[in-house]
Each structure stands twice: as C-alpha cells, then as structure tokens.
Amino acid sequence: MSAGLDIRILTGRDPAFAACIPDLARLRITVFREFPYLYAGSLAYEEQYLATYTRCADSVAVIVRDGERVVGASTGLPLVAETAEFTRPFVAHGYRPEEIFYCGESVLLREYRGRGLYREFFAGRERHARALAGFRWMALCGVVRPENHPRRPPTTCHSMRSGRSSAIRAIRNSSRNTNGRISMKLRRARRTCCSG
C-alpha cells in the first residue's frame, strides 16, 4: 500500500511543478538506468525535456514523496503540446493529436514498487484528462525488450508487465516492436473511471 507516502497531483499551472523539475530529472535518470530502459541520460537533457510539461498549462504530474524525497512520478499532457517529431507517428496512423492525451513515463524507485502506486499514477492522469474534456484517446509509450534480453531481471513486479493494472488491460497495441524501440499504445477514452 501507499501508506505514509504523500501523493500529489500538480498541473502545469502549479509553480510547485516547476520547482520539482530537478528532483524529477534525478529520479528519471535513476530509474531509466534499469531494465527495460537501459538509458544513460544527463540532468541537463532531463530538465529540458521536463520543461515541456511546465510550459503546458494542461499538463499533469502525479508526484510521490516519502518525506521530502521524490520517489515516484508520472506525467501527462495533451499530445498537441509535444513536438512535431513526436506527434508524427500518430498522424501517420490517422489519429488527430488534439484528441489524444499522452501519458508520459511513470517512474518509481524499486523499493516502492508493488504498493499499488502505478494504479495511482494511471488514475490521477486519467482523472486529469477527463476534467479537461475533449480527448477521445489516451496514449502510452513503453520500451519493449525481447524476453531473452541478457539484462532482463529474473523476475519483474512492474504492474504494467504483470497486467495487474486494469488501465493497462484495456489498452490495445497500435504498433508492436521487440527491439527496444518505443511501442505506442492507445486506448479509447471511457465515460467511467477504471476501478484499477
């Protein structure tokens, strides 16, 4: 469970979001070093990337703190706030970016996994997108690695991988890839919140 942790939902309108950027950048670098990401980023790049969210008033971040320490975060924003390079595959597949709310990465330190926080991430972003209205789709991206990847850990408790999250079960693949590239997933916006 998430007892004892502080979970807050911040929007691009909230100055506290911008104040969290250095902590979020450090968290992302820590988590993205792990499987399946295997990414070695820099603070400068991560802070620049996250600034996209603070420039968009309709963006959202679900922040998890243990005391003063940021231990998890999940972001989202209207797809139209992303770069043309990022929206291009959606347009190429016949989707209209203005109808899509993009759920960015969910990052959580290993020792906090298995407590239901990924469900909190999805529920918070979904509630936010619903409150904005006008979105027909929610989009997610994830790194897909082969089952026999040499750096795959023997067990994985990530809720997206195990399928425990009802939000994930409702998603269908729009493209499939097993070479470590990004796999886009879309799901039609529903009228009722998921119970996940």
Over residues 152-168, the mean pLDDT reads 48
CB 140 within 8 Å of CB 171 = yes
Burial classification of residue 159, based on how many CB atoms lie within 10 Å of its CB (0-12 exposed, 13-18 middle, 19 or more buried): buried
Question: What is the Cα–Cα distance from 85 to 173, expressed in whole angstroms?
Answer: 20
CB 28 within 8 Å of CB 44 = no
Architecture of domain 6-188: 3-Layer(aba) Sandwich (3.40)
pLDDT of residue 173: 34
Q: Return the domain boundaries, the chain.
A: 6-188
Above 50 in pLDDT, residue 177?
no
Question: What is the Cα–Cα distance from 61 to 133, expressed in whole angstroms?
Answer: 17
pLDDT band at 154 (very low <50, low <70, confident <90, very high): confident
pLDDT of residue 52: 92
Residue 39 phi, psi dihedral angles, 5° rounding: -115, 135
Question: What is the Cα–Cα distance from 108 to 158, expressed in whole angstroms?
Answer: 10
Above 60 in pLDDT, residue 163?
no
Which of the given ranges, 30-34, 51-55, 138-142, 169-173, has the highest pLDDT on average? 51-55
CB 108 within 8 Å of CB 117 = yes
Question: What is the Cα–Cα distance from 39 to 36, expressed in whole angstroms?
Answer: 9
Closest CA to 27 of 14, 38, 41: 41
- 169 compared with 80, residue with greater pLDDT: 80
Over residues 29-41, the mean pLDDT reads 85
Q: Give the global pTM.
A: 0.77
pLDDT of residue 168: 33
